[in-house]
Structure 1
Amino acid sequence: MISIQNLSLRAGTKPLLDSANLTIHPGQKIGLVGKNGAGKSTFFKAVLGETTIDSGDIKVPNNWQIGYVEQETKDLSVGMLDYVCFGDSLYFEVMQSLEQAESTQNNQALVKVYDQIEHIQAYEVPLKAKQMLFGLGFNQLDFDKQLSEFSGGWQVRLKLARALMQRSDLLLLDEPTNHLDIEAVTWLELWLKSYQGAILVISHDRNFLDEVVQGIAEIDQQKIQYYSGNFAAFERQRHEQLMQQQSLHDKQKQQMQHLKTFISRFKAKASKAKQAQSRVKALERMEQVAAVQACTDFHFAFSEPKQMPDPMLEIQALDFAYNDKTILDKVNLVVRSGDRIGLVGVNGSGKTTLLKLLVGDLKPVAGKIQLSKGLKIGYFSQHQLETLRPEWSPLQHLLAMEEAPSDQESRDFLGQFGFSNQQALETIENFSGGEKARLALALIRFQEPNLIILDEPTNHLDMETRDALEMAINDFTGGVIIVSHDKQLLNACVDQFWWVHQGQVELYFGSLDEYLQDQMKRVRDENRLLSNTGKNSDKNEVNKKAIRQTNAHIRKQLEQQLKPLKKQLKKMETQLEKSQNRLEEIHLLMENPELYDAQNKERLEPILLEEAQLKKTIEECEEQWLELEEEMEEIRQSQ
Structure 2
Amino acid sequence: MIAITNLSYYLGDRALYDGASLHIKPKQKIGLIGLNGTGKSTLLRMIDGEYQPDEGSISKSGDCTIGFLNQDLLSYQSDESILSVAMQAFERQNELQAQIDKVLHEMETNYRDELVDKLARAQDEFEALDGYSIQAKAEAILEGLGFSTEDLSQPLRQFSGGWRMRVMLAKLLLQKPALLMLDEPTNHLDLPSIQWVEKYVQNYEGAVIVVSHDREFLDNVVDTIVEVSGGKLNLYSGNYSYYEEEKELRNEIQRGAYENQQAKIRQTERFIERFKAKATKARQVQSRVKALDRMDVVDEVIDENAKVHFRFQFTTQPGRHVFQLEDASKAYGEKLILDHTNISMERGDKIALIGANGRGKSTVLRIVAGTEKHKGVRRLGHNVSFTFYAQHQLESLNVAHNLIEELKYANPNKTETELRTVLGCFLFTNDDVFKKIKVLSGGEKSRVALAKVLLSQANFLLLDEPTNHLDMQSVNILIQALQQYEGSYIVVSHDRYFVENIATKIWYIEDHQIKEYPGTYEEYELWLEERGLESAVSDKAIVSSAPPPKSTAAPAPSNGQKKEPSPKPENQRALKQAQKQVEELEATITDLESQKKKLETQLADPASYSEKDTLDELNEKYANTRQKIADATKAWEVAMLEAEELEG
TM-score (norm 1): 0.77
1:80 pairs with one of 72, 79, 82: 82
Match of 2:599 in 1: none
- Contact 2:40–2:228 under 8 Å retained in 1: yes
AA aligned to 1:322 is: Y
Structure 1 residue 416: Cα displacement:
5.0
AA aligned to 1:112 is: R
2:204 pairs with one of 174, 195, 200: 195
- Contact 1:81–1:143 under 8 Å retained in 2: yes
Is residue 2:34 matched to residue 1:25? no
Give the paired residue count: 538
Question: Equivalents in 1 of 2:94, 2:21: separation in Å?
Answer: 35
- Contact 1:316–1:331 under 8 Å retained in 2: yes
Task: Summarize the alignment of residues 141-540 of structure 1 with structure 2, pairs less than 5 Å apart.
Answer: 141-295=150-304, 297-299=306-308, 300-303=310-313, 306-364=316-374, 366-401=375-410, 405=414, 410=419, 414-420=423-429, 422-508=431-517, 511-512=524-525, 518-519=533-534
Cα–Cα, structure 1 residues 339 and 112, in superposed 2: closer, same or farther, change >3 Å? Answer: same
Moved more, 402-411 or 378-387: 402-411
Moved more, 1-10 or 455-464: 1-10
Cα–Cα, structure 1 residues 579 and 437, in superposed 2: closer, same or farther, change >3 Å? Answer: closer
Structure 1 residue 90: Cα displacement:
4.3
- Contact 1:80–1:145 under 8 Å retained in 2: yes
Question: Equivalents in 2 of 1:173, 1:393: separation in Å?
Answer: 33
Deviations 1:163-207 (A, max 9, x none): 221121111000000011122111111111111211111011111
Cα–Cα, structure 1 residues 269 and 314, in superposed 2: closer, same or farther, change >3 Å? Answer: closer
Deviations 1:9-51 (A, max 9, x none): 2234432112211111111101001111111111001111111
Deviations 1:267-306 (A, max 9, x none): 4444433333333332322222222234471425432664
Q: Which runs of 5+ in 2 are unaligned?
A: 108-114, 540-606, 623-648
AA aligned to 2:82 is: M
Question: Equivalents in 2 of 1:129, 1:522: separation in Å?
Answer: 23
Question: Equivalents in 2 of 1:425, 1:263: separation in Å?
Answer: 44
Structure 1 residue 78: Cα displacement:
1.3
Deviations 1:508-557 (A, max 9, x none): 58613665994479999xxxxxxxxxxxxxxxxxxxxxxxxxxxxxxxxx
- Contact 1:134–1:523 under 8 Å retained in 2: no
Moved more, 29-38 or 282-291: 282-291
Cα–Cα, structure 1 residues 513 and 382, in superposed 2: closer, same or farther, change >3 Å? Answer: farther
- Contact 1:77–1:146 under 8 Å retained in 2: yes
Moved more, 222-231 or 257-266: 257-266
Match of 1:553 in 2: none
- Contact 2:226–2:235 under 8 Å retained in 1: yes
Match of 1:636 in 2: none
Cα–Cα, structure 1 residues 104 and 404, in superposed 2: closer, same or farther, change >3 Å? Answer: farther
AA aligned to 2:21 is: N
Deviations 1:224-266 (A, max 9, x none): 1100111111111111111211211222222233333333444
Is residue 2:173 matched to residue 1:132? no
Task: Summarize the alignment of residues 588-603 of structure 1 with structure 2, pairs less than 5 Å apart.
Answer: none
Question: Equivalents in 1 of 2:538, 2:250: separation in Å?
Answer: 43
Question: Equivalents in 1 of 2:493, 2:263: separation in Å?
Answer: 50
Deviations 1:584-628 (A, max 9, x none): 679969x99xxxxxxxxxxxxxxxxxxxxxxxxxxxxxxxxxxxx
- Contact 1:377–1:450 under 8 Å retained in 2: yes
AA aligned to 1:6 is: N
Deviations 1:385-404 (A, max 9, x none): 23323333333433444765
Structure 1 residue 211: Cα displacement:
0.9
AA aligned to 2:362 is: T
Cα–Cα, structure 1 residues 222 and 584, in superposed 2: closer, same or farther, change >3 Å? Answer: farther
Question: Equivalents in 2 of 1:248, 1:578: separation in Å?
Answer: 17
Question: Equivalents in 2 of 1:334, 1:107: separation in Å?
Answer: 71
- Contact 2:385–2:460 under 8 Å retained in 1: yes
Cα–Cα, structure 1 residues 513 and 66, in superposed 2: closer, same or farther, change >3 Å? Answer: farther
- Contact 1:298–1:418 under 8 Å retained in 2: no
Question: Equivalents in 1 of 2:50, 2:355: separation in Å?
Answer: 38
- Contact 2:608–2:614 under 8 Å retained in 1: no
SS at match of 1:511: helix
Match of 2:639 in 1: none
- Contact 2:354–2:494 under 8 Å retained in 1: no
- Contact 1:8–1:56 under 8 Å retained in 2: yes
AA aligned to 1:346 is: A
Question: Equivalents in 2 of 1:580, 1:297: separation in Å?
Answer: 29
Structure 1 residue 503: Cα displacement:
2.6
SS at match of 1:436: helix
- Contact 2:237–2:609 under 8 Å retained in 1: no
- Contact 2:387–2:458 under 8 Å retained in 1: yes
AA aligned to 1:279 is: R
Question: Equivalents in 2 of 1:495, 1:275: separation in Å?
Answer: 66
AA aligned to 1:341 is: I
Question: Equivalents in 1 of 2:234, 2:463: separation in Å?
Answer: 35
AA aligned to 1:78 is: E
- Contact 1:5–1:20 under 8 Å retained in 2: yes
Question: Equivalents in 2 of 1:585, 1:184: separation in Å?
Answer: 34
SS at match of 2:321: coil
Structure 1 residue 439: Cα displacement:
1.4
Question: Equivalents in 2 of 1:44, 1:95: separation in Å?
Answer: 34
Greater Rg, structure 1 or structure 2? Answer: 2
Moved more, 201-210 or 282-291: 282-291
AA aligned to 2:451 is: A
RMSD, aligned α-carbons: 3.1
SS at match of 1:312: strand
AA aligned to 1:108 is: D
Cα–Cα, structure 1 residues 433 and 102, in superposed 2: closer, same or farther, change >3 Å? Answer: same
Structure 1 residue 133: Cα displacement:
1.7
TM-score (norm 2): 0.76
Question: Equivalents in 1 of 2:480, 2:239: separation in Å?
Answer: 23
Question: Equivalents in 1 of 2:313, 2:52: separation in Å?
Answer: 49
